[in-house]
Structure 1
Amino acid sequence: MKFFLKHIFFLLLFSGFISGQDSITILKNMDYRLADSLAVHFPKKKYKSITEITGPLTDPLKTPHEKFRAIFKWITENIEYNKSGAALKDADKIVRKNKAVCQGFSNLLKEMCNSVHIDCDTISGYTKTEVRDINKKLKKTDHAWNAVKLYGHWYLVDVTWATSKFNIVSKKFEKNFDEHYYITDPKKFILDHFPKDKQWQFLPKPITAKQFTRMPLYYADYFHFGIEDLSVKKGKFKHKRKKPLTFTCTAISKIDNASILLNYDRYSIDMKLKTTKNPNEYTFDYTFAKKGDYDLTLYYNGLCVAEFLIKVK
């Protein structure tokens, strides 16, 4: 019965009856235990070319999405984000050196996928990683990621950001697999990835560069909480002193407490969460006592989720 249902799903997906958000949700929640296990336990040794890896890694797997997952996971397990690998762009050289930066990561994913007949393209574009990027004019592209074609549909992934997380204390990238950047909803992906070519947004109505730069700076835990509809949409704005500023959102994960940090102060300010009729909705108010320019960082459950620049008049 399980095999029959699986066969029906792939038939519907390939025929176009399942698409958009439904197909993203289904593919993200597939059973990847075998693919992940093969990637994690794949022999650790020196390889001269990607073909020495992709065949043995994916041959035991029957479906395209499992083969893609195994390749994606293998890269996150074996390639280190290291600026000393910035010059490495060729896929075979990257597997020999085991290091790269974003362009190398995306090239490697593309070539490994193509070698097992999975369509995968690299995408160049812009990201926001610091609060000073808010309202900053986009000039030279600063990042690269991928789109993969599975069952006739294109999906967005970022193998670089799925591999490592920047530790602000040690100032180093540390291995930390992030599931969010594997087959990501385009509506969420656009919050921190803006492609140079708008066709890669995969949105019904593509946004402009100005709209992208005006948004807040979103951190990884914003997505991990499953936050939707944060009421403060602009990253930089003016606000009146003594007028409450309201933060409201819905979230999949339970939020027990909220706090804010102002102008990199050492101490955060705890906020009182208000209850609403919707159990998944969270809201609180903050009132500025003094005029001035503020950098406001929003925390939920002690985790940084978003940052704003506010001029209080």
Structure 2
Amino acid sequence: MKKIISGILLLFVSVMSAQYESVDAAVRSYPDFSDADKLAARISKDFKTDIDKARAIYTWIGTHIAYDMKALYSQQNGGIAFSYTTPEDRMQKERAFRLNLVKKTMRSKKAICEGYASLFTYLCAMTDLPAVIIPGTSKTSHTEIGKLPTEGDHTWNAVKINGAWQLIDVTWAAGVVRGNEKKFTPVFNDAYFCTDPDLFFLNHFPDDKRWLLTDRSAEEFAELPFYYPTYLKSDYRINADKGAILFPKNTGVRFKIENLDPGDELYYITSRDNTLDRLIVDEHNHFVIPPSAKLSGYLTIFVNMKPLVAYKIVRG
């Protein structure tokens, strides 16, 4: 039954995607906004359906708010830190904190995840869309394969569209952070808009498991490979869904990949060798990682020079 429901959701999102091009084009033509209320008023004026308003908010934030590298390393725009005496006092102070964060984000056009998620929620509230902020753990590197989720690593959203909750990560819509270079590259990515919960789970685990919106466990999350955004944005699917793979010394390991297009080229690289090697896919969509002394550390599979998925190599 889960597969049928998942298929219906993917079809629903696929049908909706026909509207995205016009919504995105309209939002990209907007003048610069530094006031969230004025932006929300413009979105409410231009778009009437839940999905169009949510997409407009997602696209505007994803194309206008840069990831704040300075705040990332200083945590100036990071977690919530204040004292309170009662639950009511806590709620009041959190609302004030987030409102201030929204204003700061709109003014500076920079944020880290709390700023992105707070702005998304605020704009949803101003356009009559129910939305929540979801704290949790993200998987952002192959080095996290095998690690159980912990609290307070990342923040994203859920928005209710036509009566159903949908998962959103507008921080990851904005671009790519290269931690080793301490650099942010703006590249709009819509893979995290109304994502199928089973795909969203591949690199998000909420502190409150109810926001998984699927029946998965922390142990399953830890065991996952590291999936790059290319995987979520594409139809490519690889049959190996465990992050640690045993590679015998004298035997190749066979994988299967689905939905390659004619002309797609497959490569792999290991962290020890750091050299791309071409892979040959047979008529049954199989390819083999051959036995080699360079198989240690981590293995990353590429399609057309774009990273798709990474695994931890276990030598047998």
TM-score tier, shorter chain, comes to: 0.7 to 0.9
Partner of 1:113: 124
What is the alpha-carbon distance in structure 2 between the residues aligned to residue 168 and residue 92 of structure 1?
27
Return the TM-score normalized by structure 2.
0.83
Report the alpha carbon displacement of residue 259 of structure 1 after superposing the two structures with TM. Answer: 1.6
- Counterpart of 2:171 in 1: which secondary structure? helix
Partner of 1:122: 133
Report the alpha carbon displacement of residue 140 of structure 1 after superposing the two structures with TM. Answer: 3.2
Q: Is 1:77 matched with 2:58?
A: no
Report the alpha carbon displacement of residue 266 of structure 1 after superposing the two structures with TM. Answer: 3.7
What is the alpha-carbon distance in structure 1 between the residues aligned to residue 306 and residue 180 of structure 2?
15
Report the alpha carbon displacement of residue 303 of structure 1 after superposing the two structures with TM. Answer: 1.5
Report the alpha carbon displacement of residue 221 of structure 1 after superposing the two structures with TM. Answer: 1.4
5+ residue gaps, structure 2: 1-6, 78-97
What is the alpha-carbon distance in structure 2 between the residues aligned to residue 207 and residue 115 of structure 1?
33
Counterpart of 2:153 in structure 1: which amino acid? D
Return the TM-score normalized by structure 1.
0.83
What is the alpha-carbon distance in structure 2 between the residues aligned to residue 160 and residue 144 of structure 1?
8
Report the alpha carbon displacement of residue 147 of structure 1 after superposing the two structures with TM. Answer: 0.8
**Do the aligned residues in 1 keep the contact of 2:151 with 2:207 (CA within 8 Å)?**
no
Report the alpha carbon displacement of residue 34 of structure 1 after superposing the two structures with TM. Answer: 4.0
**Do the aligned residues in 1 keep the contact of 2:135 with 2:151 (CA within 8 Å)?**
no
5+ residue gaps, structure 1: 1-17, 277-281
What is the alpha-carbon distance in structure 1 between the residues aligned to residue 272 and residue 150 of structure 2?
28
Partner of 1:26: 15
When residues 183 and 265 of structure 1 are mapped into structure 2, their CA distance, relative to the original with a 3 A threshold, is same
Which of 187, 190, 196 is matched with 2:201 structurally?
Answer: 190
When residues 76 and 208 of structure 1 are mapped into structure 2, their CA distance, relative to the original with a 3 A threshold, is same
Partner of 1:134: 145
Give CA-to-partner distance per residue, 1:245-304, whole Å, 9 cap, x none: 01102126556222211224242222221112xxxxx22112324497432111122221
What is the alpha-carbon distance in structure 1 between the residues aligned to residue 128 and residue 270 of structure 2?
51
When residues 283 and 74 of structure 1 are mapped into structure 2, their CA distance, relative to the original with a 3 A threshold, is same
Q: Is 1:269 matched with 2:277?
A: yes
Partner of 1:38: 26
When residues 254 and 214 of structure 1 are mapped into structure 2, their CA distance, relative to the original with a 3 A threshold, is farther
Report the alpha carbon displacement of residue 33 of structure 1 after superposing the two structures with TM. Answer: 3.9
What is the alpha-carbon distance in structure 2 between the residues aligned to residue 291 and residue 61 of structure 1?
54
What is the alpha-carbon distance in structure 1 between the residues aligned to residue 260 and residue 164 of structure 2?
26
When residues 55 and 19 of structure 1 are mapped into structure 2, their CA distance, relative to the original with a 3 A threshold, is farther
Give CA-to-partner distance per residue, 1:212-251, whole Å, 9 cap, x none: 01111111112233122x2222111333222220110212
**Do the aligned residues in 1 keep the contact of 2:69 with 2:183 (CA within 8 Å)?**
no
Report the alpha carbon displacement of residue 21 of structure 1 after superposing the two structures with TM. Answer: 3.4
Give CA-to-partner distance per residue, 1:46-92, whole Å, 9 cap, x none: x3x41121102331222221122111111112211113344345212
**Higher RCO, Cα 8 Å, sep 6+:** 2
**Counterparts in 2 of 1:27-66, with a 5 A limit?**
27=16, 29-45=17-33, 47=34, 49-66=35-52
Which of 214, 221, 242 is matched with 2:230 structurally?
Answer: 221
- Counterpart of 2:132 in 1: which secondary structure? strand
Counterpart of 1:213 in structure 2: which amino acid? A
Q: Is 1:87 matched with 2:95?
A: no
Q: Post-superposition, which runs of at least 4 consecutive aligned residues in structure 1 deviate over 4 A?
A: 167-171, 252-255
What is the alpha-carbon distance in structure 2 between the residues aligned to residue 256 and residue 272 of structure 1?
11
For structure 1, which segment, 140-149 or 283-292, has the greater mean C-alpha deviation from structure 2 after superposition?
Answer: 283-292
- Counterpart of 1:222 in 2: which secondary structure? helix
Counterpart of 1:30 in structure 2: which amino acid? A
Partner of 2:170: 159
What is the alpha-carbon distance in structure 2 between the residues aligned to residue 253 and residue 51 of structure 1?
45
When residues 81 and 253 of structure 1 are mapped into structure 2, their CA distance, relative to the original with a 3 A threshold, is farther
- Counterpart of 1:71 in 2: which secondary structure? helix
Alignment coverage as a number of residue pairs: 285
